[in-house]
Structure 1
Amino acid sequence: MKKQSLWMTIPVTTAVLLALAGCGGPDSNASSSENSSSPTTTVGEQTESGSGGADFSNENEAAGTQKDTNTSDSKGASGSQEGGNQTVAGQSGVNDVIKQVRNQLKMQDAALPTSFTLDKGTSLGAAILSNSADAFKVNFYATTQSVAVNDQSLTASDSKIPVLASYEVKMYKNPDQDHIFPETDLKDIPADMAVDLGHGIKGMSEGAAGSQYLTWQEGRWTLQIRSVSEDDMNNPGIAKKIVEYLESHTLPIPKDKGYIQIEYPSGGKSVHVTISWQDGNKIHQLKTDQVPLEALGMVVSVKS
Structure 2
Amino acid sequence: MNAKFMITPVVFSMLLLASCGGSYSSNSSDSTNSYGSNNNSYGSTANDSNKNDMRSDSKPMILTQKDVLETVKSKINSDIVVMLPKDIPLSSDSHFLSAKTTDAPDAYQVIFYETKNPISVNSDDLKEASKATAIATVSGKSYMTEQEAADATGHMDNVNTGMNGVDLGSNITGYTDAGAGSTFLNWAEGRWSMSVRNTTSADQQDSIDLAKKVVAMLEKETLPAPHQVGGMKLEAMPNKADGNIISWQNDKTDYTVSNFKDPLDGVKITTSFTK
Q: Secondary structure at the match of 1:103?
A: helix
Match of 1:300 in 2: 271
Are residues 1:142 and 2:114 paired?
A: yes
Match of 1:170 in 2: 141
Cα offset, 1:153, TM superposition:
1.1
Are residues 1:260 and 2:232 paired?
A: yes
Q: Secondary structure at the match of 1:149?
A: coil
- For 2:178, give the aligned amino acid: G
How far, CA to CA, are the matches of 2:208 and 2:222 in structure 1?
Answer: 21
Q: How does 1:10-159 map to 2 (within 5 A)?
A: 93-107=64-78, 109-120=81-92, 121-128=94-101, 130-155=102-127
Determine which of 177, 197, 200 is the counterpart of 1:226: 197
Match of 1:8 in 2: none
Question: Are the structure 2 counterparts of residues 251 and 174 from structure 1 closer, same or farther at C-alpha, using a change threshold of 3 Å?
Answer: same
Are residues 1:181 and 2:150 paired?
A: no
Tell me the matched-pair count.
Answer: 207
Are residues 1:208 and 2:212 paired?
A: no
- For 1:213, give the aligned amino acid: F
Query: Which consecutive segments of 4 or more residues in structure 1 shift more than 6 A?
Result: none
CA deviation digits over 1:67-113, x for unaligned, max 9? xxxxxxxxxxxxxxxxxxxxxxxx96111111111112123641101
Question: Are the structure 2 counterparts of residues 159 and 172 from structure 1 closer, same or farther at C-alpha, using a change threshold of 3 Å?
Answer: farther
Match of 2:169 in 1: 198
Q: TM-score, normalised by structure 1?
A: 0.63
Cα offset, 1:187, TM superposition:
4.7
Cα offset, 1:213, TM superposition:
0.6
Cα offset, 1:284, TM superposition:
0.3
Cα offset, 1:133, TM superposition:
3.2
Query: Which structure features the higher share of helix residues?
Result: 2
Q: TM-score, normalised by structure 2?
A: 0.69
How far, CA to CA, are the matches of 2:238 and 2:137 in structure 1?
Answer: 20
- For 1:143, give the aligned amino acid: T
Q: Secondary structure at the match of 2:144?
A: coil
Percent identity over the alignment is: 29
Question: Are the structure 2 counterparts of residues 180 and 252 from structure 1 closer, same or farther at C-alpha, using a change threshold of 3 Å?
Answer: closer
Report if aligned partners of 1:123, 1:146 keep a CA contact under 8 Å in 2: yes
Q: Secondary structure at the match of 2:122?
A: coil
Cα offset, 1:258, TM superposition:
0.5
Report if aligned partners of 2:191, 2:226 keep a CA contact under 8 Å in 1: yes
How far, CA to CA, are the matches of 1:125 and 1:186 in structure 2?
Answer: 37
Report if aligned partners of 2:153, 2:249 keep a CA contact under 8 Å in 1: no
Report if aligned partners of 2:169, 2:212 keep a CA contact under 8 Å in 1: yes
Q: How does 1:254-293 map to 2 (within 5 A)?
A: 254-264=226-236, 268-272=237-241, 273-293=244-264
How far, CA to CA, are the matches of 2:226 and 2:208 in structure 1?
Answer: 25
Cα offset, 1:164, TM superposition:
0.8
Q: Secondary structure at the match of 1:106?
A: coil
Report if aligned partners of 1:276, 1:284 keep a CA contact under 8 Å in 2: yes
Cα offset, 1:280, TM superposition:
1.9
Report if aligned partners of 1:137, 1:169 keep a CA contact under 8 Å in 2: yes
Higher-Rg member (1/2): 2
Two-structure CA RMSD over aligned residues (Å): 2.2
How far, CA to CA, are the matches of 2:268 and 2:122 in structure 1?
Answer: 24
